[in-house]
Amino acid sequence: MEKTERIQDIFASQVFSEDVMRERLPKEVYKSLLNTIANGKEIDASIADVVAGTMKDWAIEHGATHFTHWFQPLTGVTAEKHDAFLSPVGHGKAIMEFSGKELIKGEPDASSFPSGGLRATFEARGYTAWDPASYAFIKDGSLYIPTAFCSYGGEALDTKTPLLRSMDAVNTAALRIVRLFGDTVTQRVVSTVGAEQEYFLIDAEDFKARRDLFYCGRTLFGAPAVKGQELEDHYFGTLPTRVSAYMKELDMELWRLGISAKTKHNEAAPAQHELAPIFSTTNLAVDHNLLTMEYMRKIAEKYDMVCLLAEKPFEGINGSGKHNNWSLSTDGGKNLFKPGKNPSENKEFLLFLAAVIRAVDEYQDLLRISAATAGNDCRLGGHEAPPSIISIFLGEELDTIIKSIIEGSGYSKRDTKYMSLGVKSVPTIRQDTTDRNRTSPFAFTGNKFEFRMVGSSQNIALSNIVLNTAVAEALSDFADKLEETIDFGGTLDRLITDTFKKHSRILFSGNSYSKEWEEEAKERGLSNFRTSPEAYAHFTDDKNIKLFGKFGVMSETEMRSRREIFFESYRKIKNIEARTMLEMTVRDIIPAVSKYVGALSESVNAKLAVSRSINVSAERDLIEKLSDLLASTYEAYGALERVEKTAISKSSDEEAAFYYKDSVIPRMDALRKLVDSMEILCAREVWPMPTYGDIIFRI
């Protein structure tokens, strides 16, 4: 940053924001567009040309030459295709043009994006449609227009369309509830999200020197380093110089795009870090999180580092997740999950709380699926990440309130507690009404819910689609009952009590990492899908098809296509990983170990040539151990190769995914164990790749 640049000047300087719109658009056009953005009203086609022209002029002033519709196909990453504003006018001349039509609709060739059977490959047509609720922005000389992406038949081929639909669904339902509590002002209720993002930074040299990192983004072999994270000396520790410079530049670039990166710190594992933005409306939060991941990767290159977003890049130390903080807020800025001073009397809050408890209990499977990927399977259930069982942690105060409501007993408000640290100059601080529970997958954190299961590389859209829609269903059922009753107070109390009673099994405040919880959860009838394929299978269960269908969020066809894609990408990832292991074993690891054994043998011969009585037991022992391991490794290699062949031959992705889980992964694990045992016995200089110790402590 140049000294003269002030943060308030650069923030959102690359964004066609509301300020820019107000300044540049004719008043009527601005008002109409704002109505679309703020209230989700359909865009008036007649204003599109004016908006497009203004956008183009602004973009060109800011150095842009191209525009692109930017969308989120079902690959998990974003897609873009750039067109110049250029338009020939004859006589070898050209003008810069951009029409309303080009703004509203694009026609990228859709044939190479996953569609899960929604579109045969020969039906290449796909459309992108402008999402006015997400601001356009400039990046690398192009004007980026956030869009939704659909097939020729109108089915959503992306993650954004169902997300926008789910936001509409929860808006409609929540509005009905706030009206019942006398709110006549609110026009729109929005779901808000703040996504905390964890990541690793490693040296680019180390990355290039390991094929597993290179092809798969995570290590498939690697003995633990002598020192791991046991000293906990990395968490919140001082930032290394290179990392600190990286974070500064990252913040700056994100700020230019209007992304409010706020918090940054070292995470628990060595080489692990976190970035958290200030929350925003959910569609924007999703866009911003995708851009954040992109910039994390891109800027790392400038510092000769690589940013790893994989969920479990290194075995034995913490993996990375994404904390999806979610809440509902009125357009006036009232957070509907704010308990207030007296939560036990705050019926509106209790009703919204009841809706979330019901939603999470009834759609545990969907939430679990939204965090199910091949990569996240390596992380969930570890000692640092939530287990695969969904439960809600509410905290001491709310637990007590709910208990008193269920039992019909009285509740007396907890006195505010203050803590003195026993040092006069340090002010006394107010104690929160509850401690935190880091082990819970879904925790109430004062005025929002934190879903901690999502994997670090994932698009957070699906988790929020599920949350919005499931909560919309609970709220709209509540509204049905409350709107027709003649005894509002009585019905309200009964609704709250009955819902808490019926769904209290999902509440858990103990240690979610414990073995006992697994047992207890089973007794409570909670689902526990340990692996992604097991979870995916339930995506199209009747109740789930009904839910999404009822609110027009996803049709059955759209759901079936996504189910296909889940299995397909799981299969592809596992296939690449298995093949990478095979290649590394036979082309890097076996040759290296064999060469080392050869060198040891030569040394034995050389020593014995000097005198038959020289002690060669050390070399002998190593030769024997390594030769045994080498033979077993080659056997394990063969075993993996055989199952991998079978996996490839499976015609259905679903069948293949289950086969990978049941037959291939165990063989990958077996091979890894052997290779890791050889690593610790081999000379450092012969090992054909950087070790964990080299990588995680290098920066």
Q: Where along the sequence are the contacts to Mg ion (CB under 5 A)?
A: 323
We find the least distance from the C-beta atom of residue 303 to ligand ADP, in angstroms, to be: 25
We find the least distance from the C-beta atom of residue 450 to Mg ion, in angstroms, to be: 5
Token couple for 411: 């509740």
The one-letter code for the residue type at 683 is: A
Nearer to Mg ion among residue 323 and residue 667 (C-beta): 323
Plot region of 90 (φ>0 → left; ψ -120 to 50 → alpha; else → beta): left
Strand partners, 149: 128
Strand partners, 70: 80, 146
Size of the chain, expressed as the number of residues it contains: 699
Half-sphere exposure of residue 558: CA atoms within 13 angstroms, side-chain side:
23
Among 48, 174, 193, 521, binds ligand ADP (CB under 6 A): 193
Which of ligand ADP, Mg ion, none sits in contact with 277, Cβ below 5 to 8 A by type?
ligand ADP
The one-letter code for the residue type at 393 is: F
Nearer to Mg ion among residue 149 and residue 279 (C-beta): 279
We find the least distance from the C-beta atom of residue 450 to ligand ADP, in angstroms, to be: 6
Among 201, 276, 471, 682, binds ligand ADP (CB under 6 A): 276
Nearer to Mg ion among residue 188 and residue 323 (C-beta): 323
Does residue 277 belong to the site contacting ligand ADP (CB under 6 A)? Answer: yes
We find the least distance from the C-beta atom of residue 448 to Mg ion, in angstroms, to be: 10
We find the least distance from the C-beta atom of residue 232 to Mg ion, in angstroms, to be: 18
The one-letter code for the residue type at 37 is: I
Q: Which H helix or E strand runs over 465?
A: helix 461-484
Q: Which residues in the 308-327 window bind ligand ADP by CB under 6 A?
A: 323, 325-327
Does residue 447 belong to the site contacting ligand ADP (CB under 6 A)? Answer: yes
How many residues of this chain bind ligand ADP (CB under 6 A)?
17
Does residue 246 belong to the site contacting ligand ADP (CB under 6 A)? Answer: no
- How do strand 142-151 and strand 66-71 relate by DSSP bridges? parallel
Does residue 448 belong to the site contacting ligand ADP (CB under 6 A)? Answer: yes
CB 43 within 8 A of CB 36: yes
Q: How far is CA 14 from CA 31, 48, 62, 251, 369, in A?
A: 22, 21, 8, 14, 36
We find the least distance from the C-beta atom of residue 452 to ligand ADP, in angstroms, to be: 9
For 97-164, give the secondary structure using H, E and C.
Answer: CCCHHHHHEECCECCCCCCCCCCCCCCCEEEEEECCCCCCEEECCEEEEEEEEEECCCCECECHHHHH
Q: Which residues in the 40-99 window bind ligand ADP by CB under 6 A?
A: none
Nearer to ligand ADP among residue 445 and residue 509 (C-beta): 445
C-alpha angle 666-318-588 in degrees, rounded to nearest 5: 50
Token couple for 364: 């545990």
- Alpha helix ranges (H) inside 227-343: 241-256, 282-302
| Residue 524, Cβ density class (10 Å: 0-12 exposed, 13-18 middle, ≥19 buried) | middle
Which of ligand ADP, Mg ion, none sits in contact with 279, Cβ below 5 to 8 A by type?
ligand ADP
We find the least distance from the C-beta atom of residue 405 to Mg ion, in angstroms, to be: 28
Does residue 167 belong to the site contacting ligand ADP (CB under 6 A)? Answer: no
| Residue 324, Cβ density class (10 Å: 0-12 exposed, 13-18 middle, ≥19 buried) | buried
Which of Mg ion, ligand ADP, none sits in contact with 447, Cβ below 5 to 8 A by type?
ligand ADP
We find the least distance from the C-beta atom of residue 469 to ligand ADP, in angstroms, to be: 17
Among 278, 421, 576, 680, binds ligand ADP (CB under 6 A): 278
Q: Which stretch binds ligand ADP (CB under 6 A): 73-81, 190-198, 389-397, 588-596?
A: 190-198
We find the least distance from the C-beta atom of residue 379 to Mg ion, in angstroms, to be: 16
Does residue 196 belong to the site contacting ligand ADP (CB under 6 A)? Answer: yes
CA distance 394 to 408: 19
Binding site for ligand ADP (CB under 6 A): 192-194, 196, 276-279, 323, 325-327, 335, 445, 447-448, 450
